[in-house]
Amino acid sequence: MSHPTPTGQSTADGFVSADLYTQIQQFYARQMGLLDDGRPDDWADTFTTDAVFAEASRLNEPLRGREAIRASSRARQERLDAEKIDFRHWLGMLDVRPQDDGSVRTRAYALAMRTPRGGRLEIFASVVCRDHLVRVDGSWKVRQRDLTHDGSGLD
Amino acid sequence: MSHPTPTGQSTADGFVSADLYTQIQQFYARQMGLLDDGRPDDWADTFTTDAVFAEASRLNEPLRGREAIRASSRARQERLDAEKIDFRHWLGMLDVRPQDDGSVRTRAYALAMRTPRGGRLEIFASVVCRDHLVRVDGSWKVRQRDLTHDGSGLD
Amino acid sequence: MSHPTPTGQSTADGFVSADLYTQIQQFYARQMGLLDDGRPDDWADTFTTDAVFAEASRLNEPLRGREAIRASSRARQERLDAEKIDFRHWLGMLDVRPQDDGSVRTRAYALAMRTPRGGRLEIFASVVCRDHLVRVDGSWKVRQRDLTHDGSGLD
């Protein structure tokens, strides 16, 4: 049986504060917005200089360092521009786990979708995004990103 | 290198408060819910009397004023009822920018989807929704909405 | 005409607090994550012992009690494992309505999607999820869940 208690109180669930949770939500809305707006340089700047970007099912080796991420992102944007494709990254179902050192580890679901000029929307991939976020001079940055595509047979 | 600081503190990112962010999330869940529940009149009442509704890729001219929005919304609902279509508007990836006058400007991604009676789900459009929200008698209302469909070649 | 007031203040909209809203968001991210991670037992434990799970368009009779939910969830997971399917439940567009007894009633949109090993993503159902959530020993649990599939002709 359940014993309801007043709403709005702290729970035994280990959830993070509203302040932290909505910060991370806003971080992702803006970060993915930069990528989708065709601003690969600004997007790359949301990673730490020593960031590692791993996409298990696509890349042979992780991208190591912000400048490698920047170069990859610029090349990707040039392809999208040439093909006149609008791209969207949706993140949702966010879970945030604070770490002892003040950083956070997150997990979110992501949908990757694209619409060619004058064409139809295609939602083509469901991905699980696991990040390690740290603060640099007061701003959240991604130090590590691990993407796992559904259907890849990986966890 | 990163210098993590304790979580839950204010950041240099310019994010809005948890209180404001979750208010706007709730506003959109309810506003889109009214439309999807087939309540075009209640939905129209979430706009200011002088609201402007612009959908660049679809309408020749923006709808000007709540009553024009209401009439358009009622006509749309009659078509959906006749065709027995369940329609859903998903908003996500919300960004909120407070303005000096107490209003907010928002940007969100939206997915438009429909399911005919006994038929299959079709997610047919990815749209960027940019709103100007103001408070009227303590309630958030849309004063301006600008929708841009992916694939339209517009920004 | 609108009369904007400073942001961040309480409104006449009847929205719940940021604390409660983000708790429920986190609850769903973790609850659906358990199901999608292939942990049907842990998922079943997020329901009260006397929970009722109703899926109007699919089940002849609601599942009654946590152990019935557990048995159904285990059987489902065995099918997914056999078919090597990655499954995702996305919830969004959350609305939360506090009740006088400290429980909450929620409504959310849900998308059900699957990706077979080496295959393509299919988002196959849009569902409205209405829950009654209660606290048990400080943790949110589902006491009642009512799912309505779009296209079923039900409300």
- Average pLDDT of B3-25? 73
Give the model's confidence band at C4: pLDDT under 50 very low, under 70 low, under 90 confident, else very high: very low
Q: What pLDDT sits at residue A11? A: 57
Coarse DSSP helix, strand, coil percentages of chain A, rounded to the nearest 5 percent? 25, 40, 30
Q: CB B151 to CB A117 under 8 A?
A: yes
Could you give the percent of chain C with pLDDT greater than 90? 85
- Average pLDDT of B21-37? 97
User: Mean of the per-residue pLDDT values for chain C?
Assistant: 91
Q: CB A13 to CB C27 under 8 A?
A: yes
User: Mean of the per-residue pLDDT values for chain A?
Assistant: 91
Q: Show residues of chain B in contact with C149, CB under 8 Å.
A: 115
End-to-end CA distance of chain B: 35
Q: Show residues of chain A in contact with B98, CB under 8 Å.
A: none
CB C97 within 8 A of CB C105: yes
A5: pLDDT strictly greater than 90? no
User: Mean of the per-residue pLDDT values for chain B?
Assistant: 91
CB B32 within 8 A of CB B129: no
- CATH number for the domain whose boundaries are C18-149: 3.10.450.50
Domain locations along chain A:
18-149
C120: pLDDT strictly greater than 80? yes
Task: From B104, B103, B145, B105, select the one nearest B127 (Cα to Cα).
Answer: B145
Q: Show residues of chain C in contact with B50, CB under 8 Å.
A: 1-2
pLDDT digits (tens, 9 = 90+) for A62-94: 999 999 999 999 999 999 999 999 999 999 999
Q: Locate the DSSP E strands across A61-103.
A: 63-64, 85-98
B8: pLDDT strictly greater than 50? no
Predicted TM-score (pTM) of the model is 0.92
A10: pLDDT strictly greater than 90? no
Task: For chain A, list residues whose CB is within 8 angstroms of any CB belonging to chain C.
Answer: 1-8, 10-13, 15-19, 21-22, 92-96, 107, 109, 111, 123-126, 149-151, 153
Looking from the CA of C13 toward its CB, the CA atoms found within 13 Å total 29
Q: CB B123 to CB A119 under 8 A?
A: no
Please state, in angstroms and rounded to a whole number, the distance separating the CA atoms of residues B55 and B58: 6
Q: CB A150 to CB C88 under 8 A?
A: yes
Q: CB A16 to CB B4 under 8 A?
A: no
Q: Show residues of chain B in contact with C125, CB under 8 Å.
A: 121
Chain B: closest CA distance from residue A153 (Å): 26
pLDDT digits (tens, 9 = 90+) for B46-70: 999 999 999 976 667 899 999 999 9
∠ Cα B123 A123 A65 (to 5°):
145
Please state, in angstroms and rounded to a whole number, the distance separating the CA atoms of residues B110 and B134: 20
C neighbours by CB contacts (3+ pairs under 8 Å): A, B
Least confident of A40-54, B74-88, C58-72, C93-107: C58-72
Q: Locate the DSSP E strands across C99-121.
A: 104-116
pLDDT digits (tens, 9 = 90+) for C25-37: 999 999 999 999 9
Could you give the percent of chain B with pLDDT greater than 70? 90
